[in-house]
Structure 1
Amino acid sequence: MLNRKSIRKYKSDMPTDEIIQAIVRSGQQAPFAYQCYSILLDRKNKHPFGAPLQFTICVDLHKLEMIMKKRNWTIVINDLSMLIMGIQDAAYTAGNMVMAAESLGLGSCFIGATPYYAKKIVEEYKLPNKVFPLVQLVMGYPAEDPTPRPRYPMEYCLFEDQYPEFTDEMIDNAIAEMDEGYINQNYYRDMNNMIPIKDGSKELYTFDNYGWTEHISRKAGQWLESPEELLEQFEACGFNIRYESAKND
């Protein structure tokens, strides 16, 4: 598990049905709240990084609705609460699938922007109401062997008894751990990936000093200020999480 890393180059070899089923079965065995998830598989089309497999892990309340209907029940829990439960179910499942794939010699990479093109996936897979694509996961046999990426120091993640008041030293250590690791691995240089600054007012960077904390700061400091785009994707999948304002109107 400590050796896991995202793979962005794949061999063309297609995993067997037995391998695919073993990976999905491992996902099924993850802990769950309501089993409100489904897994979509595509092994016909071209996928990111040349991966032969693409899974789309969805939050799925439709299946629960069908079971409850058979038992003469309807869902009254609000959509936001059920989404939280479904996100947990889908995330646990996806994590198990990644670990199972690793144990079988496969690599993988999550596609985190999936929720922002949920409507497209709904059309492609003809998804019913109450199914929301949470994340896509490409998978296959690795054609590269990158070094595992850095993570925050333990003191910046594990807090016993109470949440700490961060000192400058703790913050600086976390920044150094992440940035030095990514810069030493030439991570952004090799991908030629540096997010532009919209107004050009921030300090200029080169790939010699552009690390993870600057990269993630440019994302969180410039993008997606409004939730409207994401709310529209939820609503296209039948999830109304603006219930109170809609009711009051």
Structure 2
Amino acid sequence: MEFNDVIHGHRSIRQYEDREVSQDVLDEILNAGIRASSSGNMQSYSIVVTRDKELRKKLYTPHMDQSMVLDAPVLLTFCADFNRMRRWLELNDAPVHFDNFMSFMIGAIDATLASQNCALAAENAGLGICYMGSTLANCDQIGELLNLPPNVVPVVGYSLGYPAESPAVRDRLPQQGLVHYEQYEDYTDERILDIYAERNEKGWQRYMDVPQLKEMTERLGLQNLAQIYTIAKYTKESHLGYSQTVLDYLDKQNFMRNDESN
């Protein structure tokens, strides 16, 4: 495929053919991820490939009962990982740290960069993916199922396989609403309304076109897309709960040290 076609043709795939992804194709995808930019070339991430059906059944609940966890032949989980780096430091008589929040952020960025390289390579090979926010939201449960040691935290993940659907490409906010030149220019109310005008229309229509989503919207008495986001999808209570889950798991996985000792 042409590169621009890959970029601009992206869509989330939730339905997959009953067809395996060959190891050769998977290796090409993974090698693309490994070529991603990395802080200090430390490559402070790991990629967990899950094919096993029984393990995917166990991951189904922490991934919020999303059907593609079971239907896709492969799950990829990208983890911030300083376990490997710390072991290497120890073996070379170097100070062993990287056990703080900044280290987690470096690993999380590395993992995310690798994940997007893999996603582009997969789509270029004719496969589909669907990112799952549940990877971070339920990182503690997923980390336990994937047998992650200290200093490893799942950050992003997605299903991977051959598409059995061809959904429409979703809208994106316009470039002029996202890009700032030289310095950040804060938004006027009028500009905000203009930036979100198409999203308000198309996003709302998407909910009205799906019977289950329409029923939910009407049951909750929601009047616009902003209310859908904050009352139905991403409530304050859920975000606070998931925030605490992540913070507690970072502490458990040895990423919250705040002293100067090794």
Equivalent residue for 2:104, pick from 83, 88, 95? 83
Q: Give the secondary-structure state (helix, strand or coil) at the position aligned to 1:182.
A: helix
1:174 equivalenced with 2:195 (yes/no) = yes
Q: Report how far residue 236 of structure 1 moved.
A: 2.6
Q: Report how far residue 158 of structure 1 moved.
A: 0.5
Q: For residues 148 and 196 of structure 1, do their structure 2 counterparts lie closer, same or farther at Cα, with a shift above 3 Å needed?
A: same
Distance 1:125 1:134 in 2: 13
After superposition, the C-alpha distances for 1:69-117 in whole angstroms (9 at most, x for unaligned) are 1211133345111111111100100000110000000000111121232
Q: For residues 86 and 97 of structure 1, do their structure 2 counterparts lie closer, same or farther at Cα, with a shift above 3 Å needed?
A: same
CA RMSD of aligned residues (A): 2.4
Q: For residues 8 and 188 of structure 1, do their structure 2 counterparts lie closer, same or farther at Cα, with a shift above 3 Å needed?
A: farther
The structure with the largest helix share of the pair is: 2
Equivalent residue for 1:225, pick from 234, 240, 248? 240
Q: Which residue of 1 aligns with 2:46?
A: 38
Asked if structure 2 preserves the Cα contact closer than 8 Å seen for 1:36 and 1:89, the reply is yes
Amino acid at match of 1:28: I
TM, length-normalised to structure 1: 0.85
Amino acid at match of 1:177: E
Asked if structure 2 preserves the Cα contact closer than 8 Å seen for 1:122 and 1:237, the reply is no
Equivalent residue for 1:216, pick from 225, 229, 236? 229
The number of aligned residues is 234
Q: Which residue of 1 aligns with 2:81?
A: 60
1:106 equivalenced with 2:127 (yes/no) = yes
Q: Which residue of 1 aligns with 2:63?
A: none
User: Where does 1:1-249 land on structure 2 (aligned, <5 Å)?
Assistant: 1-33=7-39, 34-45=42-53, 46=56, 48-49=67-68, 50-77=71-98, 79-184=100-205, 186-187=206-207, 189-190=209-210, 192-193=212-213, 204-205=221-222, 210-211=224-225, 213-218=226-231, 219-225=234-240, 227-240=243-256, 243=258
Over the matched positions of the two proteins, sequence identity in percent amounts to 25
Q: Report how far residue 228 of structure 1 moved.
A: 2.5
After superposition, the C-alpha distances for 1:173-229 in whole angstroms (9 at most, x for unaligned) are 222221222234x256427247979xx7xxx23xxx643x33323315443236322
TM, length-normalised to structure 2: 0.81
Q: For residues 221 and 171 of structure 1, do their structure 2 counterparts lie closer, same or farther at Cα, with a shift above 3 Å needed?
A: farther
